[in-house]
Amino acid sequence: MIVCRTKAELKEQLQNLRLAGKTIGFVPTMGYLHEGHASLLRRAKEENTAAVLSVFVNPMQFGPNEDLDRYPRDEERDLGLASQCGVDIVFMPSVSEMYPSAPLTAVVVHKVTEQLCGASRPGHFDGVGLVVSKLLHLVNPNKAYFGMKDAQQVAVITQMVIDLDFPVEIVPCSIVREPDGLALSSRNVYLTPLQREQAVILSQTLKLADQWIKEPQLTVQSLVGRAQEHILQASEAIIDYVELLTFPELTRLEDDIRVSEIEQPLILACAVKFGSTRLIDNTILDKMEV
Amino acid sequence: MIVCRTKAELKEQLQNLRLAGKTIGFVPTMGYLHEGHASLLRRAKEENTAAVLSVFVNPMQFGPNEDLDRYPRDEERDLGLASQCGVDIVFMPSVSEMYPSAPLTAVVVHKVTEQLCGASRPGHFDGVGLVVSKLLHLVNPNKAYFGMKDAQQVAVITQMVIDLDFPVEIVPCSIVREPDGLALSSRNVYLTPLQREQAVILSQTLKLADQWIKEPQLTVQSLVGRAQEHILQASEAIIDYVELLTFPELTRLEDDIRVSEIEQPLILACAVKFGSTRLIDNTILDKMEV
């Protein structure tokens, strides 16, 4: 496994892979890797003949009052896990390597960024669009793998790739969960034992929602209301948002329509704070089973 | 020479070139090719082992009151000229092939788009950024060639390529002129005989400016003022802008400073209407000769 810290090294190593006729599966991350990332890396390696991982905590996607400074990092452990997953190249640039000067160019995706984390975290997806554009240009992968925990990120990047004709296939991958249902996240380490215990309420609520939508009269409003109520059973939970939207367009729905009458795929997504730690989770509601 | 009208055909033909080990020089155009374009195509072919031309009148870079509908087109002549220049692939997509649905993604370059045509044609460079991003992704050239007549376009695309790490070298190419000095442009066909005769005032003025800057006391304001006055000797000329800026940053300069004291490279750029035809021209002032 080769570790590249500069764009020039990466370019050289990728040329070697390309000359050897390898296809490249790419997993961009912010590091502090967990089993969710590992599942992406293993899939990248399975579906391509080489896997490239990037580890870069992108300052451009954090707001001024967000957790950039305390975002967890553990380079050594990340390299160990990457190696176990069969990664061929790890790209670990510094901030000044990625942004040698302040960029004047913005890659902005409209509409799909207006709800959910796009509304709660202004500018977040502009930072994501910028860094993912840069990384796709630097790595030029055949396929790029993204976890569905950040479902809106998948929707935004898919839209960007379609609109700009990026020559890459975006592969959305299932959320990986702890045995009790908590979606894996690098931010889970921030949780106190009590918060950790209560945080399971997110996945529990989403699982219940999969049952609730079998009720033919259930409206959008009552589904969201029930989900909010259920989450608030956890005494430490402070809801940022709970929203039911179409997927992947992420358009809003009228409050009073019946969920059973909506033909498009739907996502129920939530962001909930436990203390200063903000967790997100979501489920694509499987109405085919209704 | 192969003509591709769809992205899928283009992809297939480019794969063949790549498999044959060819390097690709790319010239994106809006067609109605003239000797300026031909010079780009010949250079693309000289510096690479294959040349790709795109012909696409991009509606996204025209404002609502601009000349999209009457923009001149002559596919047959374009193909003849391309063939003479040794072009390997011509990509001639329809609007619906390039934009199968309304794009939600914007590629916006700040600062370098605030002056000159960026100020006169709101949204123009957003359309340019979008279509050039798409074309660079579709063609994935080693080098892309742009004429310096659209100097701001060169500055904007260069900035975009740096900021987003596009794996391409942008090659700016000299302006090609008629024997009397008029910069070649597809829009020159719109000029009446009188306007055509008077249009030479642009290049004459820029040439004079190259002399004026040898005066050590000449200020920014007096240089621009003299240029404006000289252009207005042409009775049909209506000035859109005459500006002296740094290049390639395109930052404004204080009116009252001496041009001889400015260390950065400078561009004197103008846009002038003759009737409803808007012409642009510019010169990079060569202060090294001062």
**pLDDT score, position B290:** 43
Active-site entry in A37, A110, A137, A230: A37
Say if the Cβ atoms of A105 and B108 lie within 8 Å: yes
The helices-and-strands tally (H runs, E runs) of chain A is 10, 10
Enumerate the residues of chain A whose CB falls inside 8 A of the CB of residue B137.
164-167
Q: Which residue is listed with tokens 């934009």?
A: B99
**pLDDT score, position A286:** 73
Among A130, A159, A165, beta carbon nearest to B104: A159
**pLDDT score, position B286:** 72
CB contact at 8 A, B251 and B263: no
Residues A206 and A158 in one domain: no
Residues A7 and A92 in one domain: yes
Residues A68 and A163 in one domain: yes
Confirm whether B103 is domain-assigned. yes
**pLDDT score, position B288:** 61
- Residues B58, B60, B64, B65: what is their CA dihedral angle, to the nearest 10 degrees? -40
B94 Cβ partners below 8 Å, 6+ apart?
A: B5
| CATH number where A240 lies | 3.30.1300.10
Say if the Cβ atoms of B164 and A105 lie within 8 Å: yes
Confirm whether A179 is domain-assigned. no
DSSP-based three-state secondary structure for B69: coil
Confirm whether B179 is domain-assigned. no
Tell me B148's DSSP state: G
Enumerate the residues of chain A whose CB falls inside 8 A of the CB of residue B133.
164-165
Which pLDDT tens digit goes with each residue over B236-279?
999 999 999 999 999 999 999 999 999 999 999 999 999 999 99
Instruction: Give the minimum alpha-carbon distance from A223 to chain B in angstroms, rounded to a whole number.
Output: 29
Please state the domain count of chain B. 2
What does pTM read for this prediction?
A: 0.96
Which pLDDT tens digit goes with each residue over A222-238?
999 999 999 999 999 99
Which pLDDT tens digit goes with each residue over B112-122?
999 999 999 99
| CATH number where B58 lies | 3.40.50.620
Residues B158 and B37 in one domain: yes
Say if the Cβ atoms of A107 and B106 lie within 8 Å: yes
Residues B18 and B143 in one domain: yes
Which pLDDT tens digit goes with each residue over A118-162?
999 999 999 999 999 999 999 999 999 999 999 999 999 999 999
DSSP-based three-state secondary structure for A273: strand
Say if the Cβ atoms of B105 and A167 lie within 8 Å: no
Tell me B112's DSSP state: T
Which pLDDT tens digit goes with each residue over B75-130?
999 999 999 999 999 999 999 999 999 999 999 999 999 999 999 999 999 999 99
Of B173, B205, B235, the domain-final residue: B173
DSSP-based three-state secondary structure for A65: coil
> What sign for the dihedral angle of Cα B164, B165, B166, B169?
positive
Instruction: Give the minimum alpha-carbon distance from B159 to chain A in angstroms, rounded to a whole number.
Output: 7
What average pLDDT does this structure show over B42-70? 96
Instruction: Give the minimum alpha-carbon distance from A4 to chain B in angstroms, rounded to a whole number.
Output: 16
DSSP-based three-state secondary structure for B113: coil
* A interface with B, Cβ–Cβ below 8 Å: 7, 11, 103-112, 129-130, 133-134, 137-138, 140, 159-160, 163-167
ipTM reported for the complex, 2 dp = 0.95
B136: domain range?
Answer: 2-173
Residues B12 and B123 in one domain: yes
Of B173, B205, B237, the domain-final residue: B173
Confirm whether B180 is domain-assigned. no
CA atoms within 13 Å, Cβ hemisphere of B57: 18
For residue A290, pLDDT beyond 50: no
Q: For residue A37, indicate whether it is catalytic.
A: yes
Residues B127 and B222 in one domain: no
